[in-house]
């Protein structure tokens, strides 16, 4: 699985332009520290909650290390989403303004 390398600035620009930031960790992990703009859709619930996502806007997925976000990207692509970026682990962006 390959992480889509984007900078903090690129992440913020995408979100400002309407991208959706999805934390695919468990609710407990999410509540222990998530990126500010993120919504929590745990990996195991992704197929059932995908209707919450706008297929016309980019989707940025992340988790703790990048493993679950890679799986989330594959699931969303299989479901017909085309603008999906796996930005990896939460710690990469924890210091972003």
Active site positions, annotated: 63
φ, ψ for residue 72, nearest 5 deg: -60, -40
Range list of H helices, the chain? 8-16, 27-31, 46-49, 67-78
Range list of H helices, 17-97? 27-31, 46-49, 67-78
Task: Return the half-sphere exposure (C-beta side, CA atoms, 13 A cut-off) of residue 67.
Answer: 2
Alpha-carbon gap, residue 12 to 6, rounded angstroms: 10
């Amino acid at each position: 699985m390959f992480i889509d390398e984007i900078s903090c600035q690129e992440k913020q620009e995408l979100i400002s332009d309407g991208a959706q930031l999805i934390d695919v960790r468990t609710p407990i992990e999410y509540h222990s520290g998530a990126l500010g703009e993120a919504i929590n859709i745990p990996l195991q619930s992704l197929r059932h909650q995908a209707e919450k996502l706008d297929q016309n806007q980019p989707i940025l997925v992340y988790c703790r290390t990048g493993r679950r976000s890679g799986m989330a990207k594959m699931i969303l692509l299989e479901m017909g989403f085309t603008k999906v970026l796996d930005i990896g682990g939460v710690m990469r962006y924890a210091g972003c303004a």
